[in-house]
């Protein structure tokens, strides 16, 4: 599955910082290989970020609903991982956003990684260096 490009959602609880690059919250699980690649990319390119570990801190349903409205709940669910394969067919038969959010909250490993959210509400799902470049080059600025 290809990473999904920038989408914007309202982000009432994110605050802009004085950092030279946009403030970013990177959501994921610390020991995930894709997360390690994404965090290394952010570090190498000087992108200021806060890491939010689903396993340690959980994820609130309001944020999952907002993301689902912006990019679709099917985009957020990782159907290729072991957590998905361990679910019963009944659990996998998700047909509503609310059911998807409940399942993601109960099983944070089901959420695709990483999810990057900027202070302006831009969402990037999955690791794609080309999409991440939008975090270091301001829109409309000459390269």
User: Catalytic positions, please?
Assistant: 32
The distance of Cα 16 from the centroid of its chain, to the nearest Å, equals 18
**Chain position carrying tokens 């894709």:** 34
Region of residue 40 (phi > 0: left; psi between -120 and 50: alpha; otherwise: beta): alpha
CA–CA distance, 131 with 33 (Å, rounded to integer): 18
SS (H, E, C) 30-50: CCCHHHHHHHHHHHHCCCCEE
């Amino acid at each position: 599955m290809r990473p999904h490009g920038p989408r914007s959602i309202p982000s009432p609880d994110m605050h802009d910082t004085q950092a030279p690059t946009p403030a970013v919250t990177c959501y994921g699980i610390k020991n995930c290989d894709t997360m390690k690649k994404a965090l290394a990319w952010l570090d190498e390119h000087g992108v200021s970020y806060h890491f939010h570990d689903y396993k340690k801190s959980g994820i609130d349903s309001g944020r999952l609903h907002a993301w689902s409205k912006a990019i679709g709940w099917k985009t957020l669910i990782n159907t290729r991982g072991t957590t998905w394969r361990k679910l019963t067919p009944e659990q996998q038969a998700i047909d509503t956003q609310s059911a998807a959010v409940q399942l993601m909250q109960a099983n944070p490993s089901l959420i695709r990684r990483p999810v990057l959210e900027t202070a302006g509400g831009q969402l990037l799902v999955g690791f794609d260096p080309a999409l991440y470049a939008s975090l270091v080059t301001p829109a409309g600025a000459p390269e």
